[in-house]
Amino acid sequence: MNSAGIIDLIPSSLRQQWKEDNIYPDRSVYRLFAEQAQRQPGTPAVLVPGQRITYAQLHDAVLRLAGSFRAMGIVAGDVVAYQLSNSWHCSAIDLAVAALGAVVAPFPPGRGRLDIESLLKRCDARAFIINPHYTDMDMCQLVDDLRPTVLSLRFLIVDGAPQDGWHGLDSLLQESPLADGELPEVCADTPVRLLVSSGTESEPKLVAYSHNALVGGRGRFLQRLHPDGASFRGMYLVPLGSSFGSFATFGVLSWLGGSIALLPQFDVPEAIRAIEELRPTHLLGVPTMFQRIAAHPTLATVDKSSLRAIVSGGSVIDQTTIQRCVEVFGCRFVSLYGSADGVNCHNTLDDPPEVVFKSVGRPNPSVCEIRIVDNESNVLPSGTCGEIVARGPLSPMQYVNAPELDAKYRDKEGWVHTGDLGYLDAQGYLILAGRKKDIIVRGGANISPVQIENIATSHPGIVESACIAVPDADLGQRVCICLTVKEGSPRPSLEELNLYFCQQGLETSKLPDYLCFYRNLPLSPAGKVDKKRLAAELEFVGSVAGTLA
């Protein structure tokens, strides 16, 4: 057990083998970043509209912030949590905390009081950094109200000027920098970041990652996408506090020596303008984001020639959306399957379109090995659908302060059980088939929401879709399809939509019972469609189809 109270459930012999195979750099993320800053001080590290932060500027900010944290009493093993909109401050915090041997625990804006309290308690956060406001919420007041219940919390920091009882991040960034030699030597096998994974639990869970697993696992995934790491310029449409955004600082800056491009929050017109201004090589986001950008008329008016690939993760994406994106963005498409729990598989730029349409690529054992197992954990042959389990260099150490989750999802050999369904075909490509718990059971028949959603978004007038289970006294569950339509397109009736489903080959036993329209489907803090919120809204939909504005 290390100073943060976190143990590693991956067998030590495997971690050692990954070092001997040179998969792990066996150096801390801060040391790797400092080497990049010394090598290319004038290169942009973080780009936002109207501003570029070079490696030298970011390195100076990191050392100043590390000095401020140390003066406050932050030491190795302490957890520093933050909930911030995307900015270069996020990278500065990540690296300053890592430089001290402490652990950073970011989570995306949008999580409410209950989730904030749960996360702070679970990770025993010693410091918490927030934006002063989120939408109409006074975040400082919210945290002040929570403070008596979070006994570990000692330091409150607001991104801006100091407030009563709060340190100001602006002031901390102005303090004298530590000399590089004043920093401790940090073991690369110790935890450096906690990732938030909502999963299917009622409360969010936290997963601990070491320096080696972040850069040697998640960073290596980026290197496979773009071998010339220094020219990688990734625009992260997702929050840096999400699992998907977790490899931005440590993967792009520490490992690749590339650049990250950011917007404070996802906004379709702003994202389109930023593509032209910031000239990213890669756009990283979730399917909903790309569906909305692709449907916006101004995308055709901007210069997109810098783009090499769209990288889509977070949820399954359909063939029609992929084809639309390739056409309107003018670049290749990469489907990424991954999670905070320690899973990664993705297409490469060399995969032909028919492979990208149906699969998420071949597993890369130097990042993550994948098996398909039955309910008794027996490995299944290729072509047989079962649960996806994963283990590899990017595997996390353990769930944080949640032994019941380790017992439920991890085995003694370090394999994580994802709860996702899929199979490996004869060529070794991974084909996803949804989640165990996402299956809708109507009158004893199993219905896959993913199958219905993929057909719905192939309709020329539909932008987004989400298939939700609605409780029913007779059949147990019924199916509601939630849609957004393109601007100017007519809203199809349920009868017209089901006719389209039948024409596309969907069995009549799987046709939706209800149809609801949204101007925009609600999104979770990580940017994915918030199906839990939709299910709550539709719980009392009753026996007639409806429309939600």
In a domain, 275, yes or no: yes
One domain for residues 53 and 88: yes
- Which pTM was predicted? 0.85
One domain for residues 267 and 319: yes
Phi, psi at 238, each rounded to 5° = -85, 160
Under 8 Å between Cβ of 333 and 322: yes
Q: What is the mean pLDDT of the chain?
A: 91
In a domain, 4, yes or no: no
One domain for residues 240 and 387: yes
User: How far separated are the first and last CA of the chain, in Å rounded?
Assistant: 52
One domain for residues 341 and 469: no
Orientation of helix 29-39 relative to helix 55-72, angle to 10°: 140
Phi, psi at 180, each rounded to 5° = -55, -35
Residue 489's domain is classified under what CATH number? 3.30.300.30
Of 208, 225, 253, at which residue does a domain stop? 208
In a domain, 337, yes or no: yes
pLDDT attached to residue 4: 61
In a domain, 224, yes or no: no
Instruction: Let me know if 39 is exposed, middle or buried by CB neighbors in 10 A (0-12, 13-18, 19+).
Output: exposed
Cα separation, 391 vs 365, whole angstroms: 9
Instruction: Let me know if 547 is exposed, middle or buried by CB neighbors in 10 A (0-12, 13-18, 19+).
Output: exposed
- How many structural domains comprise the chain? 3
One domain for residues 61 and 27: yes
One domain for residues 483 and 445: yes
pLDDT tens for the chain, 549 residues: list them: 455 679 999 999 999 999 999 999 999 999 999 999 999 999 999 999 999 999 999 999 999 999 999 999 999 999 999 999 999 999 999 999 999 999 999 999 988 888 899 999 999 999 999 999 998 889 999 999 999 999 999 999 999 889 899 999 999 999 999 998 899 999 999 999 999 986 545 578 899 999 999 998 888 889 988 999 899 999 999 999 998 999 899 999 999 999 999 999 999 999 999 999 999 999 999 888 999 999 999 999 999 999 999 999 887 788 888 999 999 999 999 999 988 899 999 999 999 999 999 999 999 999 999 999 998 999 999 999 999 999 999 999 999 999 999 999 999 899 999 988 899 999 999 998 876 666 787 876 778 788 899 899 889 999 999 999 888 877 778 999 999 999 889 999 999 999 999 998 888 888 999 999 999 999 888 788 888 889 888 876 544 444 443
Cα separation, 144 vs 203, whole angstroms: 21
In a domain, 213, yes or no: no
Angle (CA) 228 34 31, round 5°: 100
One domain for residues 454 and 533: yes
3-state SS assignment for residue 394: coil
In a domain, 103, yes or no: yes
One domain for residues 51 and 179: yes
In a domain, 221, yes or no: no
The tokens for 75 are 């030491």
Cα separation, 207 vs 405, whole angstroms: 10
List, in sequence order, the alpha helices (H) in 151-286.
Answer: 169-172, 211-213, 220-225, 247, 268-278
One domain for residues 470 and 510: yes
One domain for residues 534 and 429: no
Residue 109's domain is classified under what CATH number? 3.40.50.12780
HEC string for 2-21? CCCCCCCCCCHHHHHHHHHC
One domain for residues 184 and 243: no
Orientation of helix 88-99 relative to helix 29-39, angle to 10°: 120
One domain for residues 35 and 177: yes
Residue 381: DSSP 8-state: P
Q: What is the pairing mode between strands 155-158 and 514-517?
A: unpaired
In a domain, 355, yes or no: yes
Segments forming the whole domain that contains residue 485:
439-538
